Structure 1
Amino acid sequence: MAEKALLFINGEPPKSFPEYQDYTLIACTDGAFHYLKNRNFPLDQLAFISGDFDSHSGKDEGIHHKKFIHTPDQDKTDFHKALEIIADRGFKNVDVLGGSGGEQDHFLGNLTVAFGFKDHLDIRFYDEFSEYYFIPKNIIIHQVKNKMVSLYPFPSVENITTKGLNWPLSHGSLSITSRIGTRNFAVEDEVSIQYEKGDLLIFVGKNTLPQET
């Protein structure tokens, strides 16, 4: 199993935390440090806390100071800089909590940052509603029957074919200026997606949808 990192950033605080033993590295940005501390997160699990510390002093008696990494570059977001640190430490897989919610320009900014890293890191966001991430041009997702599956072109996708969705696509095109593929759902346990050109963001619902009787 590939080593995986878990990163908390400053969006909507998660209502529950994942199993820590699934991750080799756990880190947070300085803004996320607030809610982790308030939620009694075991701070000794953190490998580092990074950021420009505009929302935190960078000092805390419960954490050894070497865990704070000051990244003052104002041309990059704290999320961007944290991903750079994780990549420099050799990780390829990163799960992100706190990427959505709050101010929506932050959410869009987080997606844009992830887009910039998509060829180097497998970044998966999780919130209370869904899991979402950029997908390669040929993928099969598993255990999704009756779950919401939304396809969002970033900004366009050409020659896309899907199988296993209620409204399938056959050699179609998606674009944020004309047609997007949101609010679909899986009718099979496996959904396959293939496309020829462009970039595609997928949202997979956390829960199964209620079925009509």
Structure 2
Amino acid sequence: MNRKNTGIQVSDKALLFINGNPPEILPNIEHYKLIACTDGAFHYLKKMGFSLDKLDFISGDFDSHHGFDEKIDHKKFIFTPDQNKTDFQKALEIILEKGYKKVDVFGGSGGEQDHFLGNLTVAFRFKNDLEIKFFDENSVYYFIGRNYKINDVKNKMMSLYPFPETKNVITKGLNWNLSGETLSVTTNISTRNFANEDEVEIRFDDGEILLFVGADYV
């Protein structure tokens, strides 16, 4: 899909809609080189009036899809029947095969909570190959590296969730900074903190952190 002549800067990212809660506001699709959805997300996009012809592919086992839309090139429907993988995982595999390294995901949360946890697990599996960011009505969340900086976040809610354990966590720029603590899902997590500086630094020695960045906290 060619978006080079729109006058809008196009990133090298892919945009993926999956079958959780639909976004309240659709993102600006002109910023993406590739746009895709799973078969379950196809339904809410259609109801929201999304320009379905803008989709580069629709993937899934199509167990929730009742017939093809006549306005869409049938070649864009990619049948992925493997029941050992989720539709989200299979869509990410297609995106990776197409050469993309960054993907923004909408519809990853909400709905049945086991699906939400499953989506996080899938993102964890791909974290070394894809930079995956989830967006919902409350926050953006993603896995971060061991030396991470984020800017323009003053007064925003920030939660550091260990996945499942993270050692020697040190932060700078948060209201309640960490100074070498170990975070664990069974003993101690760091949620509902907020940034009191424009730049926040997060460092840790071992494990993984799922970072949630929300709206203004105060």
Instruction: Specify the TM-score bucket, using the shorter chain as the normaliser.
Output: over 0.9
Q: How far 1:172 moved relative to its partner?
A: 1.3
Matched residue, 1:147: 156
CA distance in 2, matches of 1:91, 1:182: 31
Instruction: Give the aligned partner of residue 101 of structure 2.
Output: 92
Separation (CA, whole Å) in 2 of partners of 1:182 and 1:52: 36
Q: Which runs of 5+ in 1 are unaligned?
A: none
Which residue identity is paired with 1:196? Answer: D
Give identity over the alignment, percent: 66
Residues 58, 68 of structure 1: 8 Å contact kept = no
Give the whole-Å Cα distance in 2 for the aligned partners of 1:125 and 1:62. Answer: 29
TM-score in terms of structure 1 length? 0.96
Provide the C-alpha distance between the structure 1 equivalents of 2:20 and 2:65, rounded to a whole number of angstroms.
Answer: 15
Given that 1:95 and 1:126 are in contact with CA atoms closer than 8 Å, whether structure 2 keeps it comes out as yes
List per-residue Cα deviations over 1:128-165 (Å, max 9, x = no partner). 00000000000101111111000000000001100000
Equivalence for 1:64: 73
Is the Cα–Cα contact under 8 Å of residues 11 and 33 in structure 2 kept in the other structure?
no
Structure 2, unpaired ranges of 5+: 1-9
May I ask how many residue pairs the two structures share in their alignment? 209
| 1:7 alignment counterpart | 16
Q: Secondary structure at the match of 1:112?
A: helix
Choose from 61, 79, 87 the match for 1:78.
Answer: 87
Alpha-carbon RMSD across the aligned residues, in angstroms, is 0.9
**CA deviation map 1:26-56 (0-9, x unaligned):** 0000000000001110011100000000100
Q: 1:131 maps to which residue?
A: 140
Match of 1:171 in 2: 180
Whether the 8 Å contact between 1:30 and 1:58 is mirrored in structure 2 is no
TM-score norm. by structure 2 comes to 0.94
How big is the shift at 1:58?
Answer: 5.0
